[in-house]
Structures are given as C-alpha cells and as structure tokens.
C-alpha cells in the first residue's frame, strides 16, 4: 500500500468517525465535513489542488457510492466489472475483457464495499451466508461472494445494463435480429403467445426480454417477478413489480419466486413476466401459462432450444415428482415459442433460432418443435443472418387477435 492510499484510508476512517451514523446525512453535509477534514490534515504541509480534489471525490465515493469502482460505474462503455478480491479488477468493454490498472489492496475496504451494496437492497452476506445477489441503484446486477468460499478475498461481479432500455429497432440496427423476425415477434407478443428466451451467460436475454415486453399492449396489466429487479419495462401504465426476498439471519421470512408467482395469480394479471427461472419456480410458471395467462414471458440458461426444454423438465422435477410424460405435456401446452440467443466470434449477440413448440408426440414421448427462423452464415454475412425457414403452424391466437402474418 503506497503513501497516498494509506492517507486516503486514514482520512476515510476519520470521516466515518465524524459523521452521525444515527441519522440520514445529506450530500452537502458530507462534502462540508470532507472539506473541513482535508483542510485540517493539509494545513501544515503542501498538497496540490489536484490531489485535494481527488481526495474529495475519493472520500465522497467511499461514503455515498462505490469507492474507486464508481469511475467504472460512471463509464457507459463498461458492461461488466469483476473484482477478484485484492488481486485485481477486470472489466468488459466492447465485448473484450481487460485488466484495470487500479486495485483495491485493502481487504477491509473491500468488505465495507460488499456490506454497503448488500445493505442498500436489504440483502444479508457474511461468513455464514457468503453468497448473495444484489443490485445497484441504477439497476445493475451484482453477485457477492465472501470468504471462506472465496479463497482470494471478497469477490464482486457487476453486470451493467444500458441506462435507457434497448428497443427492438436498435437490436435490428445492431444486427441482433432481422426486421422480418422482429415484426414476427411483435405480432406474437401482441396476440398473447407464451414466449421463453434461452441462452448462455451474457447472451443478452434480459435485454431481449425488455425489448419484447415493449410490444405488450399498454392497456394490459403486467406483473414482473424477479430475484433482483432488473427489467426496464417502458410505457406500461398498469405495472406491478415484485422482487424476491432472502431469509433473515434466523433463516426465516424469505419470499421466493414461487411465492411471488402464486401471489401474482390473485392480482388479476394480463401478463406475467418472470425475469429468469432457475429451479422449482419453473413448475409454477408453466402452470400459470396453462391457466389462462397467455402472453407470459420468461428466460432461462441453456445452450440450445432443445437443452432449454430438458432443463425445464429437470427444474419441474425439482419441485414435484411427476411422470416425465406429464411434465412434457405441460411444457408443450404452456410454451408456444422458444427464442435462443448466443454470442458470436466477434462478441456480438444475436438471435440464433426461433422455434415453435407444436405439441407432444405420444408415440415417441417427446415434445415436438419446428424451426421458424435460424441463423445461417454466408460469405456476405460471416457472422450469420437470421433466415426464415417455415411458417407458424398454430395461428389460433393470431386469428383471435385479428393479426395476419406476412407470408414468405
């Protein structure tokens, strides 16, 4: 630890001692206390104005924001921040991983940051509960892991989302989806098809879900259910946002995704949007889709549409022991469309495949599907372009909504 960093730590400790922790302190009062402290500490020695300004910003960020990480949080080009304990900080910019020149060398400083993040969104993280998910005030997703499970010290991973939601038109401009496929999906969302988005980590599932939700008619009542509130649904007047809650220190009073899905069914929803299904809640989501809540949307991790169907089967089995044939019938009846996303060699995110679930084949015992759109690589488009392969088979919901799709 160098001289400047030690000085910063000492000033930070003195500042915390001066602030009244029993009441809410305004930003202006914090700045006044910082200015007084810097003046006192530098009265008998020369410190440049630039260094004083840097100290002022550093101290304020340590109290109100995320210390040295605030510089990266304020940089819109940074999409992910990874703090590997005191060993280093990495960031993702334009799809590339880079090592940042700055480090958090103090374990105590890093632990304070973790508690600050967790406390602001009512999460508990300590040696007894060393893993927690949280979010920042700007909606960024945060994963927190503490020792003893994190061997190189507290680990913070921040996934950042655009301040303004990316609409489908922008995804078309970026080449993530074609104009034809976007128009097709718009018709499906408006007419109430149940749509599931799959893809790997960082493939853009949440961003695409936000873009799809923009097609929901504005007069409908939407209920969103998430582990950590990340969705940015715009323009909906009748919107209810629900967020799961972890158990307290006694292991009680948790509110799970399953609890919220069950509660939402009594809240007169037109659409239920589940941010991501990871476990037993898949059963409740599938059942809600099968009980008249058409137009529901959700996401999940998988390497392909077929893998997503298999994962849904596994997750439902985690909740209840049912015959596999019954589970597959439920999934085939509930999910209408699967959209699979992926990352290309150039780090761009694209729609890889749009699949229609057509039913359950009793003879083979398998869920049947048809590929409607598929990404194909050509000489002109080496990163691939989404090509229409077949027409939609089940058009009943489109007909009820009075929507006619353009033919190939």
Indicate the helix (H) or strand (E) that contains 239: strand 239-243
Indicate the domain borders of the chain: 1-64, 66-160, 168-401
Domains 66-160 and 168-401 share a fold: no
Q: Given CA atoms 318, 193, 210, 344 in this order, what sign does their dihedral have?
A: positive
pLDDT at 277: 92
Least confident among 242-256, 272-286, 342-356: 242-256
Measure the N-to-C terminal CA separation of the chain; round to a whole number of Å: 65
CATH topology of domain 66-160: Beta-Lactamase (3.30.450)
Mean pLDDT of the chain: 87
Nearest Cα residue to 154 out of 86, 73, 68: 86
Q: Is residue 403 predicted with pLDDT exceeding 70?
A: yes
Name the phi and psi angles at 222, rounded to 5: -115, 135
Q: How many beta carbons lie within 10 A of that of residue 39, not counting itself?
A: 10
Which pLDDT tens digit goes with each residue over 165-223? 789 999 999 999 999 999 999 999 999 999 999 999 889 999 999 999 999 998 999 99
Q: What is the largest CA-CA distance in the chain?
A: 88
pLDDT at 22: 44
Give the burial string for 240-252 (b: 16+ CB within 10 Å, else e): eebbbbbeeeeee
Q: Outline where 196-323 has alpha helix (H).
A: 205-213, 257-264, 281-289, 305-319
| Cα–Cα distance for residue pair 272/266, rounded to 1 Å | 12
Least confident among 42-56, 211-225, 371-385: 42-56
Is the CB of residue 78 less than 8 Å from the CB of residue 93?
yes
Q: Given CA atoms 100, 101, 107, 113 in this order, what sign does their dihedral have?
A: negative
- What's the CATH number of domain 168-401, 3.40.50.300, 3.10.20.30, 3.30.70.360, 1.20.1050.10? 3.40.50.300
């Amino acid at each position: 630890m160098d001289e400047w960093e030690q000085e910063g730590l000492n000033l930070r400790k003195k500042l915390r001692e001066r602030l009244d922790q029993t009441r809410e302190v305004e930003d202006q009062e914090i700045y006044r206390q910082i200015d007084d402290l810097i003046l006192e500490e530098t009265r008998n020695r020369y410190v440049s104005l630039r260094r004083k300004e840097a100290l002022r910003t550093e101290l304020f960020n340590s109290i109100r924001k995320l210390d040295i990480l605030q510089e990266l949080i304020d940089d819109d080009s940074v999409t992910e921040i990874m703090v590997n304990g005191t060993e280093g900080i990495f960031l993702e910019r334009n799809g590339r991983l880079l090592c940042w020149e700055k480090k958090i060398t103090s374990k105590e400083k890093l632990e304070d940051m973790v508690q600050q993040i967790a406390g602001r969104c009512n999460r508990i993280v300590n040696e007894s509960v060393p893993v927690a998910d949280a979010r920042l005030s700007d909606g960024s997703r945060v994963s927190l892991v503490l020792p003893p499970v994190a061997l190189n010290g507290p680990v913070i991973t921040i996934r950042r989302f655009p301040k303004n939601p990316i609409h489908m038109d922008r995804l078309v401009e970026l080449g993530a989806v074609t104009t034809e496929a976007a128009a097709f999906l718009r018709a499906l969302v408006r007419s109430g098809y149940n749509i599931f988005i799959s893809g790997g980590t960082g493939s853009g599932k949440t961003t695409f879900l936000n873009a799809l939700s923009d097609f929901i008619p504005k007069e409908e009542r939407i209920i969103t259910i998430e582990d950590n509130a990340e969705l940015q649904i715009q323009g909906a007047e009748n919107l209810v946002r629900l967020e799961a809650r972890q158990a307290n220190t006694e292991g009680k009073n948790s509110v799970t995704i399953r609890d919220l899905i069950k509660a939402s069914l009594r809240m007169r929803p037109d659409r239920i949007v589940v941010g991501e299904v990871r476990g037993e809640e898949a059963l409740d989501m599938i059942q809600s889709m099968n009980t008249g809540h058409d137009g529901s949307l959700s996401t999940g991790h998988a390497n392909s549409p077929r893998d997503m169907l298999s994962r849904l089967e596994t997750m439902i089995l985690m909740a209840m022991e049912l015959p596999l044939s019954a589970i597959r019938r439920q999934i085939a009846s509930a999910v209408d469309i699967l959209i699979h996303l992926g990352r290309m060699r150039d780090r761009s995110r694209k729609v890889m495949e749009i699949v229609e679930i057509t039913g359950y084949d009793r003879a083979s015992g398998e869920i049947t599907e048809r590929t409607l759109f598929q990404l194909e690589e050509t000489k002109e488009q080496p990163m691939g372009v989404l090509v229409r392969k077949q027409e939609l088979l089940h058009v009943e919901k489109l007909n009820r909504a009075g929507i006619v799709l353009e033919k190939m």
